[in-house]
Structure 1
């Protein structure tokens, strides 16, 4: 190997070593600078945040809940005015009917016979009245001519009056039999729904026997009872909100229409009735439910969580955050609403209460 080749190899090895030294030296220098910077940084101080409640004014509505019974505004028992056999029934339980619609028809045969008999009596009495009137006119003429005396004329006057009375009586009987015939057709007295049915076709009914029950459920009554401590906050026209077990997720709005003036004998509670417009038919009468009624409204109240209140021999107080220190503040409390307490004095909006 020549001297020139050996020198060349030494130079290459030297350059390569220098490059490695520079690379590792630079990396070491960067790491050292990072360590120095980290040491120069000020240690972070983690302050403990104190949980506080910000005092604000609020409006509060006291709502009470009562059990309620939903009843139709009108409930009618339809009975028979005459005693006959049922020929035809046109409705079933749940049938929706309109005023004047035929519900039941009774056997009319015997009532038609009675009408014809009564009509014959009217015709007979009308003829008798006409004859009595002619006799009276003729005898009055004879009386004026002094052919007959007062006693005979009075007999014809009495006979005419009796014929007139008999004619009126037969007319009344005729009208009565026509009414009895009309009573064989039972019609709906108003719009509504059939809620009960007591008879079937072919049965014989007697006068005043119940045939059907009918309700008008387009208007419902929401009935509930309250005590004497709530009665003064309920007035006619006040809106109430109710729901039923069948539609528990839906609230309906009714209006107070009736407030009893005295308590119920057994419960010593006041009866309240609200009116609900049920034209869409969503609410069924006879259901039980819950009614919510806003009784009292309070404005610009200060209420705080009950657990923030401390008590000692001097009374109630809260711990306020004031700058960097804590101070005890005496308060006067009012009514309690579940886990919230009204503060009458001692606090203002913006105060910060330290939560325990």
Structure 2
């Protein structure tokens, strides 16, 4: 009986030790788990100098090299449309025409006015004809004879009046006739002298002005006739036809839309962090969504910010033939930037506190907040001017979840 009780006590003691040991092991495991939870795991980035060129990739929209709405310069009825939608046309090619009958009549009338004015000017410049001179000379001679006759009759009337043979009224009538004959002689003599002098300066100027005015009318009529014919201002493709033959049209009303697809223009919106590296004349690789590429050249970099978008407009011209491209499609422009061995860190590794930039350095598995001075933004990388050195290890992302002085574990990558 005592032996059985002793064996039972030994079994109980052994069982209790085993349970105690299991509890201790469980507590150790819980402590290890708790330790693992307190030490955060972070992703790290090792700072290196950029020995190769970085690439900025910015999306933009493609538009034709040229695109223009074409309309007639005056009102009228469309008599001919000589192209179709999709037609390839050359510069100067006639695309459509208005009914020109009215315009041709205006041109003919203006030409007649020019001819008449020119004849009158020529006659003025040549001066009076010989028969005009002779006719006026005879007029002067006739006026002289009349003046001499009136003067003699006046003298005779004066003698008669002195002798009481005629009245005072009769004497006055003879005096008036004598005076009028003298005035008429002077007028005819002036006309004769003027003819002998040749063309009058004022008359010549008036004749020249008449010719000039007639030529202006002719130019206007010809311009109206020219405006009745619509020509292609540049080579391209007819993208749209808005009107039909026999339809009334007028200035500013679109008839055709002409596009030049011999080249393409890509419009970009570059932010202030990247605009510093963009320069006119720089070559750019333009990549479409289907993987095709073309070479472009930066032709314009806006000197001021566009307040509507908060970015700087940039234009890239593509001179290559890319028939499979279409206006309005989105492409990506790849722009290479020389780094000059600068230091670069991911944008996600840079934080902002109190209007200054910082990174979280990892030193002996402990975080240290380090102020940095950043330069331009290149894609997803900041250029760092001060604050880090090559080989420094920094937190690459998730800065809002860590604090300075915290012990961390770097994730294996």
> How does 1:109-258 map onto structure 2 within 5 Å?
109-136=101-128, 148-149=189-190, 157=200, 158-245=202-289, 248-258=290-300
DSSP-derived class of the 1:94 partner: coil
In the TM superposition, residue 210 of structure 1 has moved relative to its aligned partner by: 2.7
- Structure 2 distance, partners of 1:208, 1:270, is 32
Give 2:325's match in structure 1, choosing from 283, 301, 307: 283
* Residues 243, 159 of structure 1: alpha-carbon distance in 2 compared, 3 angstrom cutoff: same
- Structure 2 distance, partners of 1:278, 1:149, is 81
- Structure 2 distance, partners of 1:116, 1:58, is 76
> How does 1:269-280 map onto structure 2 within 5 Å?
269-280=311-322
User: Would the aligned equivalents of 2:56 and 2:379 in 1 still touch at CA under 8 Å?
Assistant: no
Match of 2:389 in 1: 344
- Structure 2 distance, partners of 1:220, 1:346, is 44
* Residues 201, 337 of structure 1: alpha-carbon distance in 2 compared, 3 angstrom cutoff: closer
Instruction: Establish whether residue 63 from structure 1 lines up as the match of residue 59 from structure 2.
Output: no
Measured against aligned partners, the alpha-carbon deviations of 1:96-129 in whole angstroms (never above 9, x if no partner) come to: 2111111111111111111222222223323333
In the TM superposition, residue 253 of structure 1 has moved relative to its aligned partner by: 1.9
Match of 2:99 in 1: 107
* Residues 130, 244 of structure 1: alpha-carbon distance in 2 compared, 3 angstrom cutoff: same
Instruction: Establish whether residue 316 from structure 1 lines up as the match of residue 380 from structure 2.
Output: no
In the TM superposition, residue 130 of structure 1 has moved relative to its aligned partner by: 3.6
- Larger deviation: 278-287 or 102-111? 278-287
User: Would the aligned equivalents of 1:333 and 1:345 in 2 still touch at CA under 8 Å?
Assistant: no
Give 1:88's match in structure 2, choosing from 75, 80, 86: 80
Structure number having the greater strand percentage = 1
User: Would the aligned equivalents of 1:333 and 1:344 in 2 still touch at CA under 8 Å?
Assistant: no
- Structure 1 distance, partners of 2:110, 2:362, is 93
Q: Which has the higher contact order (CA 8 A, sep 6+)?
A: 2
How many positions carry a matched residue from both structures? 281
* Residues 140, 164 of structure 1: alpha-carbon distance in 2 compared, 3 angstrom cutoff: farther
- Structure 2 distance, partners of 1:258, 1:148, is 78
Measured against aligned partners, the alpha-carbon deviations of 1:30-84 in whole angstroms (never above 9, x if no partner) come to: xxxxxxxxxxxxxxxxxxxxxxxxx999844432322201122323332211211
Measured against aligned partners, the alpha-carbon deviations of 1:291-327 in whole angstroms (never above 9, x if no partner) come to: 2223453659899xx9xxxxxxx952589xxxxxxxx
* Residues 117, 59 of structure 1: alpha-carbon distance in 2 compared, 3 angstrom cutoff: same
- Larger deviation: 220-229 or 86-95? 86-95
In the TM superposition, residue 224 of structure 1 has moved relative to its aligned partner by: 0.5
DSSP-derived class of the 1:254 partner: strand
In the TM superposition, residue 345 of structure 1 has moved relative to its aligned partner by: 4.0
Give the alignment's TM-score, normalised by structure 2.
0.55
Match of 2:71 in 1: 79
Cα-Cα RMSD:
4.5
Measured against aligned partners, the alpha-carbon deviations of 1:135-190 in whole angstroms (never above 9, x if no partner) come to: 54669978xx9984279559962444333322232233223222222222211112
User: Would the aligned equivalents of 1:239 and 1:256 in 2 still touch at CA under 8 Å?
Assistant: yes
User: Would the aligned equivalents of 2:55 and 2:379 in 1 still touch at CA under 8 Å?
Assistant: no
In the TM superposition, residue 280 of structure 1 has moved relative to its aligned partner by: 4.8
- Structure 2 distance, partners of 1:159, 1:58, is 85
In the alignment, structure 1 segments of 5+ residues that lack a partner are 1-54, 307-313, 320-329, 348-352
